[in-house]
Chains A and B, each alone.
Chain A
Amino acid sequence: MKDHFIYPEFEVVRNDNRCIQCRVCERQCANEVHSFDPERGIMLSDETKCVNCQRCVSLCPTRALKIVKSDCRLRENANWADDTIKEIYKQANSGGVLLSSMGNPKPLPVYWDKILINASQVTNPPIDPLREPMETKVFLGKKPEKIKRNEDGELVTETTPQLELSMPVMFSAMSYGSISYNAHASLARAATELGICYNTGEGGLHEDFYIYGPNTVVQVASGRFGVHKDYLEAAAAVEIKMGQGAKPGIGGHLPGAKIVGDVSKTRMIPEGSDAISPAPHHDIYSIEDLRQLVYSLKEATEYKKPVIVKVAAVHNIAAIASGIARSGADIIAIDGFRGGTGAAPTRIRDNVGIPIELALASVDQRLRDEGIRNNVSLVVGGSVRSAADVVKAVALGADAVYVATAALLAMGCHLCRTCQSGKCNWGIATQRPELVKRLNPDMGSRRLVNLMDAWRHEIKELMGGMGINSIESLRGNRLMLRGVGLTDKELEILGISHAGE
């Protein structure tokens, strides 16, 4: 049976007047798009392999290359879009579930872009962050209901464990295995320099990175890969991963081809075996079971580390979060439907879950309505793209945000969305040594620190404009937000007024 032919999505445009046949493109492309024809003395391209990662474009010394979207389209049809038809061809060819990577790319509403931020005029002064102190430090964790005093009447200052962050941002979970050693090194070093945390994902913690433990969140996911006593003890906080925004309802999947060498050792599974995490934790079929795992982990770490429970934003998220807040968790992390991933079934990525903005607003309000907002801190991700998104998230009620895609972009990712192939030309989502070495951890961590420094400055500028000089006074401060072009129902859920009101 012959496969349906699918015309390549991209065209490689080579300007022969500029090309000097240095063959950098050929050496740089792990997908083997470029080749040299010695007989004819010209460079050739095989577009069928191109993923538009822009590696060759970026490294071509004479700017002779560009990748453009192919204009060879099927006959236009408003119901049957080009992609829809091609996906059918692919499935008819292979009989398989479609796989893709990174966040949902569909044109669904991005609520961040429909929310605007306030600024002070006349009745109170904006504050200039260059001239006045402006504070971004946050503590994540449960707050006591009632203060206590000792016999001398002094405050008892012990609290349940708190996670201290210099700014309300953390690098979100990406496993060693799904991303490279050098990518992990970059994240760990940047988090340490910044005074924030990165997250191991469910791939365990490479022994070289234990020194970054005070800035590390370790994950316990349904596959329990790489979980052992030292791993838990090394961390600043332990995260139970119940779900992920890119693929709510299913577990992680790392193909055997990526389980090589240290990845296999760190995950504590044999080389070459697929690391397939179960959809549920098989010891958690209900909320009371979650409570037991939370307390098992607290027992194992002697109640010294906050426990985070991470869930995907799904329809009933407010009630779920309320349950988690009563289960002993110190922090709830909620991942929206635009969250990224190294590999997810396309149908799940594009159709399951809800926007993080709405999930955050309803969870924060529900926890307040029930008087238990102080039991937990809220961290949201999927997708937070800029300092403005951070400010909006905090004003809606988040204690902090998780960012991963933005961190990948800082390290060089060009969002070609083919992480699942393991052939990342930028040295990030790959385990091939010759590709991994393309990402220099010195450069990677520097860029991550730069990005967060820039965001911190922007957060301070935005806060100062509102006359707020500490991030605490922004959290849940929804009066600082207005919606544009939103329906009454959307405004009601977000708990904000429309612009002009």
Chain B
Amino acid sequence: MKLEGEVRIPSGCAIAAVISREGKGITGDVIYNAMKPMHDRSNGLGGGFAAYGIYPEYRDLYAFHIFFDHRSTRKECEAYLKERFEIVKGELIPTRKIPEITNEPIIWRYFCAPLGSMVASEQVDESEFVARTVMKINTEMKGAYVFSSGKNMGCFKAVGYPEDVGVFYKLEEYEGYSWTAHGRYPTNTPGWWGGAHPFSLLDSSIVHNGEISSYDANRRFIEMFGYKCTLQTDTEVITYILDYLLRRQGLTMEEAASVIAAPFWSTINAKPEKEKERLTFLRQVFPSLLITGPFSIVYGWNGGLMALNDRLKLRSMITAEKDDKVFIASEEAAVRVMEPDAENFYAPAGGEPVIVRVKEGKF
């Protein structure tokens, strides 16, 4: 059977997220418990979380979470990292042995800072340097896989049901101002841990429910810019698209949403002149980054979350609020677990981004 990345595997999914606009700490059990009522949306072949604000003591360092299939792979990978980074700390990620999660790889994390001289010699900025390092390890170093590489954030994922994955990683011991979660229902998979979601690059992470029909058009376009879609998953390509639009092209979150879930031409033509010009421009310039087919995504970054549906709204997704918190989930039931008194339930229209930012200075 072919491994993930050698073959494209469509999946259905469950997603959930919570964020505090005030930057207040939320423990991980809140989010993994929210996945329980959506159990049937996953099939035990992948679950994971992204957490923001969990490493305040290392907030200026890149936190690399890496799967190794063997001790020797780790040695080799560490040697490579040391050529490019100052490693401040390296340790096993704490886990708990539970019968629901088995066959775990070696799971390690490193807090590190890029070597200034190396960054300068490659003539790129720091984030591009880190992104290249991740891409290099993931494409060229067999048996090593970086699944998280941002500052003061981290992804945790495994083969299993998401609520079990949360227990496995002891997420109740972490406190973050923003969390996203994913439960996977792949149609077939050999069960590789790297294939679970969220998918993450630098501090951006994506959880996604859907199967996009534009995949290969998107992939073949984005690969022109140095990205390598090694996993052949939708989530991976969406992460790279957003990285390209936001970080490399400098689009705003709203503009990026108008590229990937572009309004229909009929809608654009009915807009006021200035808006029409802007939307036409974005569709004209980035036609290959339009994403079609069903998706609901939650995009996370340091300081915020964006929820977005495909332009036909072919996947369920709901948002709600309570005090400083905003909740996003595939189903209302998940929100009710996180906050029984949640209010302002809202189903965003297809292509309508819901953007939540933590107040300046609170994260």
Contact = CB atoms under 8 A, between A and B. Distances in A.
Interface string A459-487: 00000001111101111111110000000
Given A472-B287, A472-B288, A466 B278 contact: no
Contacts of B294: 124-125, 467
A495 B266 CA distance: 34
Given A467-B293, A472-B287, A480 B216 contact: yes
B350 to A, nearest CB: 10
Contacts of A476: 216-217, 220-221, 288
Contacts of A127: 312
Interface string A351-381: 0000000000000000010010110000000
B217 A473 contact: yes
Interface string A140-174: 00011011010000110101001000000000000
Contacts of A466: 213
Nearest to B285: A143
B306 to A, nearest CB: 19
Interface stretch (B93-101, B146-154, B247-255): B247-255
Contacts of A473: 213-214, 217-218, 290-293
A468 B310 CA distance: 11
B284 A159 contact: yes
Interface residues of A, number: 40
A469 B287 contact: no
Q: Which has the most chain B C-beta neighbours within 10 Å: A123, A159, A371, A480?
A: A123
Contacts of B265: 135, 137
Nearest to B215: A479
B216 A478 contact: yes
Contacts of B292: 467-470, 473
Contacts of A124: 10, 210-213, 293-294, 314
B187 interface: yes
A146 B314 CA distance: 32
Interface residues of B, number: 46
Contacts of B251: 147
A468 B224 contact: no
A139 interface: yes
A132 interface: yes
A479 B217 CA distance: 8
Given A155-B255, A162-B284, A467-B213, A368 B220 contact: yes
B8 interface: yes
Given A473-B291, A477-B215, A135 B264 contact: yes
Contacts of B250: 147, 149
B3 to A, nearest CB: 15
Contacts of B223: 368
Given A123-B12, A123-B211, 15 more contacts: A120-B293, A124-B211, A135-B264, A135-B265, A138-B287, A143-B284, A147-B250, A368-B221, A371-B225, A468-B292, A470-B262, A473-B291, A474-B217, A477-B214, A478-B216
Closest 8 CB pairs of A and B: A473-B214, A479-B216, A467-B213, A472-B287, A157-B281, A477-B217, A124-B211, A473-B292
14 contacts: A123-B12, A124-B210, A124-B211, A127-B312, A132-B312, A139-B284, A157-B280, A373-B221, A470-B292, A472-B214, A472-B217, A473-B290, A476-B220, A477-B216
